[in-house]
């Protein structure tokens, strides 16, 4: 069985909504699944990595593309 990839488009949402939606989406994923999160809120550069540290998941990639911040998260397990 292959790991699944889910994309979460949170562009336009302001703090704390990106983190809240990300936490909720992670809770629905199985171990090894990947979540791609797209945000435009500058605070997400701090908030999303902090969330990942709390949950024990892995931040596989994080980068900015223009005004969009992209985070690739691998669900722990």
- Respond yes or no: is residue 39 known to be catalytic: no
Contact 6, 34 (CB under 8 A): yes
Whole-angstrom distance, CA of residue 74 vs CA of residue 72: 7
Domain that holds residue 67: 5-74
pTM, two decimals, is 0.94
* pLDDT value at 2 more than 80: no
CATH (domain of 65) = 3.30.110.40
Contact 48, 20 (CB under 8 A): no
Cα 24 off chain centre by: 10
Query: What is the domain count for the chain?
Result: 1
Q: What is the mean pLDDT of the chain?
A: 96
Which residue of the set 8, 15, 43, 59 is catalytic?
15
Give the model confidence (pLDDT) of 20-70 as tens digits: 999 999 999 999 999 999 999 999 999 999 999 999 999 999 999 999 999
């Amino acid at each position: 069985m292959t790991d699944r990839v889910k994309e979460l488009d949170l562009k336009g949402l302001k703090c704390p909504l990106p983190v809240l939606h990300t936490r909720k989406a992670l809770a629905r994923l199985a171990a090894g699944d990947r979540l791609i999160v797209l945000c435009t809120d500058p605070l997400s550069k701090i908030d999303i990595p902090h969330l990942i540290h709390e949950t024990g998941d892995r931040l596989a990639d994080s980068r900015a593309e223009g005004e969009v911040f992209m985070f690739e998260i691998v669900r722990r397990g």
